[in-house]
Structure 1
Amino acid sequence: MPLHPQVQAHLDRLAALNFAGLHTVSPEQARAGARLLSPGSGEPVADVRDLRTSGGTPVRVYRPTPDRNLPVVVFFHGGGYVLGDLDSHDALARALANRSGSVVVSVDYPLAPEHRFPAATDAGFAATEWVAAHAGELGVDPGRLAVAGDSAGGNLAAVVTLAARAAGAPPIRFQLLIYPDLDFRRTNRSITELAGRYGNVTREAQHWFMDHYLADPADKLNPRVSPLLEPDLAGLPPAFVLTAEYDALRDEGEQYAQRLADAGVPVTLRRYDGMIHEFLRHPFDDAERAVAEAGAALAAAL
């Protein structure tokens, strides 16, 4: 279907800002620009606390109700492993907490290029272990634990799930992957056809992100970087994979969902037609529906 009119209006406003090409600026400049475009704080929740894990990683804990022993969702923000923080995804984290009835622990993992792979994946797994180990203090049920993330955060959620399977803990019950970044080969149809169009970053910017994240280009084929290349997906927890029609990352998310299903993993794939990458962070009608659907999936699983 064509772009949704709300999306087209958003892209027209973005084009009028005439930002420099992402690949031509420094990470610091890109972060400053991203902060200008970030939505403000979202809807109210019962409680918000900023904490640090035992390893020193900042986290923000969103509690939808004062009740204790709630399910818990460890959330990883997007931003290409270079951009984003707790504030950039504050509104989405709040909405997921309220829609799912779960405590959401948003993880401020270390960004590249200051901290290259595997710093983010290691910090993400350690933060998930910390949540499970400190469930009593956080007032959550460690037996009802999920991971979630959007874009690069969806990559980290998938990688953390694979790491938990390999380690035998923590017991992740569900994975919510929102237009996840899962294949650093950058060769599939949507990544090549949609690059630089409909708000997607250009091919040059794709490499800008990857070059900042990876110290060794050979790591593009590492399943901890490209989970789509993991040879065995059996035994993973059920998944909800959300994609967007005009997103360059669409195909890898849908391929991953198919591979999970082929491996016997219960999976729901939901494509939002007429939508673009990062649409959940914009005031679109379909963003509201998608957040509600993702929250309902978490609530049902947990």
Structure 2
Amino acid sequence: MPVDPQIQALLDKGAGVPATQTLPVPEARAQYEARIALMAPGPQLATREFAIDRPGGALRIRLYTPEGEGPHPLLVFFHGSGFVLCSLDTHDGICRNLCAGGGCVVASVDYRLAPETKFPGPTEDCLVATRWCAEHAAELGADPARVLVGGDSAGGNLAAVTALRIRDEGGPKLIGQLLLYPVTDFHTPGTPSYAENAEGYGLTRATMEWFWDHYLARPGDAVHPHAAPLRAPDLSRLPPALIQSAEYDPLRDEAELYADRLRAAGVPVQVTRWAGMNHGFLFWVGKVDGAAPAMAEACDWLRCIGNR
């Protein structure tokens, strides 16, 4: 179908904004933070922030708690964009919606960003945060037996990689992984959607190349399964997944290929391609009508898997 008219209006509004890959990193970060003012506020919830220790310093976490009596399922969430940009604040609305609609405590992790911290540093932060949250789940109002990981875009990559590492490196047990238009592979050779949606729909191929250039410490890291989980030789024994893709997204095909590989490995997978949407469309819940059913699907999945 054509690009959703409300998505197209947002694309038109941003037509004069400098392309991300043309900017120094601090300016690109400021440009993305400025988008917060355009987003709809999420539901009112109890929130608090705290820091945990990790090698090299503290790691900040923002906790969202749903209404109702706990303990609740716990979603450890990793934000996108591209391992380089965004923050707890840019993803506050998404986390609020997942918490309220999904009936789960959400722990949003402020992992270190590239290029200051290159691969595998962010993956280490996400693993440390997930293990800490699982170990301290009761203190967070959550159930240590119902822990999930999730994220959007690069955060979806980090969630998938965290699930892989937990499987291979000794727990804790996860009950699910929520992968929202995730990065699962390097940009080269790329998939058909990389060519079809290379430019004109928000995220571009050139921006993805810029992200990867900042994230990887050396070219050989591009094929490491902890950078590109689609290249992992074995995807068996991973937790059930919900994977959402967007029709007008360079990452569409790699998200769906990851779903195919999980399914082939015996992992229960639900995958939905959202027609007319572009990369990052869940930012616009409350502004773009077509984003609401995708968020509802994510929340329904969280409730279903969290209450088995």
TM-score by length of 1: 0.96
Distance 1:194 1:41, change over 3 A: closer
Instruction: Give the structure 2 partner of residue 32 of structure 1.
Output: 30
Per the alignment, residue 190 of structure 1 pairs with 193
Q: Please tell me whether residue 297 in structure 1 is matched to residue 285 in structure 2.
A: no
Alpha-carbon distance in 2 for matches of 1:191, 1:122: 28
SS for the counterpart of 1:290 is: helix
Letter in 2 for 1:10: L
Match of 2:203 among 200, 203, 207: 200
- Partner Cα separation in structure 2 for residue 260 and residue 49 of structure 1: 35
Runs of 4+ off more than 6 Å: none
The secondary structure found in structure 2 opposite 1:54 is: strand
Give CA deviations for 1:166-215 in whole Å, capped at 9, x if unaligned.
02311110001000001014311111221122112242x22211111111
Query: Within 2, Cα distance between the matches of 1:105 and 1:179?
Result: 20
Higher mean Cα deviation, 193-202 or 179-188? 193-202
Letter in 1 for 2:244: L
Q: Could you tell me how far apart the structure 2 residues matched to 1:54 and 1:99 are?
A: 30
For the Cα contact (< 8 Å) 1:72–1:102, is it kept in 2?
yes
TM-score of the superposed pair, with normalisation by structure 2: 0.94
Which residue of 272, 275, 285 corresponds with 1:273?
275
Q: Deviations over 1:42-91 (max 9, x none)?
A: 33344100111232210100001152311100000011000010000000
Equivalent residue number for residue 259 of structure 1: 261
**Contact between 1:41 and 1:90, CA under 8 Å: does it hold in 2?**
no
After superposition, the C-alpha distances for 1:253-297 in whole angstroms (9 at most, x for unaligned) are: 000000001111000011100100000001211211111110110
| Code of the aligned partner of 1:53 | I
Give the paired residue count.
Answer: 299
Q: How does 1:104-253 map to 2 (within 5 A)?
A: 104-186=106-188, 187-203=190-206, 205-253=207-255
**Aligned pair in 2 of structure 1 residues 289, 229: CA closer, same or farther (>3 Å)?**
same
Secondary structure at the counterpart of residue 104 of structure 1: strand
Question: Quick check: 1:42–1:92 contact (8 Å CA) kept in 2?
Answer: no
* Residue of structure 2 equivalent to 1:21: 19
Percent identical among aligned pairs is 46
Counterparts of 2:40 and 2:197, CA distance in 1: 30
Higher mean displacement: 62-71 or 141-150: 62-71
What's the CA shift for 1:7?
A: 1.1
Any conservation in 2 of the 1:45–1:62 contact (CA below 8 Å)?
no
Cα displacement (A) at 1:40: 4.9
Look up the match of 1:81: 83
- Name the SS for the 1:171 alignment partner: coil
